[in-house]
Amino acid sequence: MQGKRGLIMGLANERSLAWGIAQQLAGAGAELAFSYQGEALAKRVRPLAQQLGSDFLFDCDVSDMAALDRAFETLKERWETIDFVVHAIGFSDKNELRGAYYDTSLDNFLMTMNISVYSFTAIAQRAQAMMPNGGSLVTLTYYGSEKVVPHYNVMGVAKAALDMSVKYLAMDLGPRNIRVNAISAGPIRTLAASGIGDFRYILKWNELNAPLRRNVTIEDVGGAGLYLCSDLASGVTGEIHHVDAGYNVIGMKAEDAPDI
C-alpha cells in the first residue's frame, strides 16, 4: 500500500472495526486520514491516528450533507486524489434493537437508513471525484441483512439496503475502475454492538456454531479490509465478503459435529 492514501470513517475507539482495518492498512504502508463523529470523539481518535503516523483527522457527521461536503473539501485541500475509503458507520436507536421489528418507528427507520445506508452512497458520490485512477470503497455489513437475527430488526433491513447499494455502486463505478465491496463481519463486541439486545447470546451462538468454532476479531476484519483496499483484490467488486468464521454457510449444525 506504499504510496496509497485513504480515508477511514467510523473510528470510535480501539475496539472499532475501523481500528482493525486502519492498523492493517497503515502496517502495509498506506497513508491514512480519519473522520469522526463530533468533537467529543476527537480526543479518543487523535491518539489512535497518531499511533498510525497520521495527524490528518476531522469531524464529520455523515447524516449532514454539508458536513460531508466540508469533509471532502478538507481532504482535497491536502490530497489531490485518494485511493480508498473505509465506511465503518452504523446507527439506530437501541430501544428498537430489541423486541419486535414491527414496533420500529418511522423516525428511527429513516434515521437508521440515513446514517447506516444513504451515507455510503453520499460518500461514494464525493469520493469518486477524487479517484481519477480508480480506487476502492469498502463498507461493513452483517449477516442480519440476509437472515433474521433476533433483535437486529431495523438494522437488518438497513444492512440489506446497504448490501444492495454496494452492488449498484459497483455497477456505476466499475467502468472507472472504482471497486465497491462490503465485509460482512461476524459479531464483535464494540460500542455499536452493545446497543443490540442480547448481544452476548449472539456472540455465544456464533462461537458454538461457526465452522471455525470461534468469533472473529478486528484483526480478522482488518486483513480482509486490507485485501479489499489493495490491488490484490483488483478483480473483486460488488462482493459481500464474509469474515465470520464461516457462520453464514451453516444451515444446521450436526448434533454430533466433532469439536476437533
Q: Which of 142, 143, 227, 247 is catalytic?
A: 142
168 an active-site residue? no
Using alpha carbons, list the distances in angstroms from residue 115 to 87, 89, 110, 190. 11, 7, 9, 18
Closest CA to 110 of 149, 63, 53, 57: 63
Q: Which of 36, 118, 143, 152 is catalytic?
A: 152
Q: How far apart are CA 35 and CA 136, in angstroms?
A: 17
Closer residue to ligand NAD (CB): 24 or 190 = 190
Which DSSP string corresponds to 30-54?
-EEEEEESSHHHHHHHHHHHHHTT-
Q: How far apart are CA 54 and CA 75, in angstroms?
A: 13
Residue choice 17, 25, 48, 229 for contact with ligand NAD (CB under 6 A):
17
Closer residue to ligand NAD (CB): 148 or 257 = 148
Question: Is 49 an interacting residue with respect to ligand NAD (CB under 6 A)?
Answer: no
Residue 245 CB, shortest distance to ligand NAD, in Å, is: 12
Residue 73 CB, shortest distance to ligand NAD, in Å, is: 17
Question: Is 191 an interacting residue with respect to ligand NAD (CB under 6 A)?
Answer: yes
**What are the backbone angles phi and psi of residue 231, rounded to the nearest 5°?**
-70, -15
Question: Is 6 an interacting residue with respect to ligand NAD (CB under 6 A)?
Answer: no
142 an active-site residue? yes
Q: How far apart are CA 115 and CA 168, in angstroms?
A: 18
**DSSP symbol at 185:** E
Residue 142 CB, shortest distance to ligand NAD, in Å, is: 4
Question: Is 110 an interacting residue with respect to ligand NAD (CB under 6 A)?
Answer: no
Q: Which residues here bind ligand NAD, judged by CB under 6 A?
A: 10-12, 16-18, 37, 41, 61-63, 88-91, 115, 140-142, 185, 187-188, 190-193
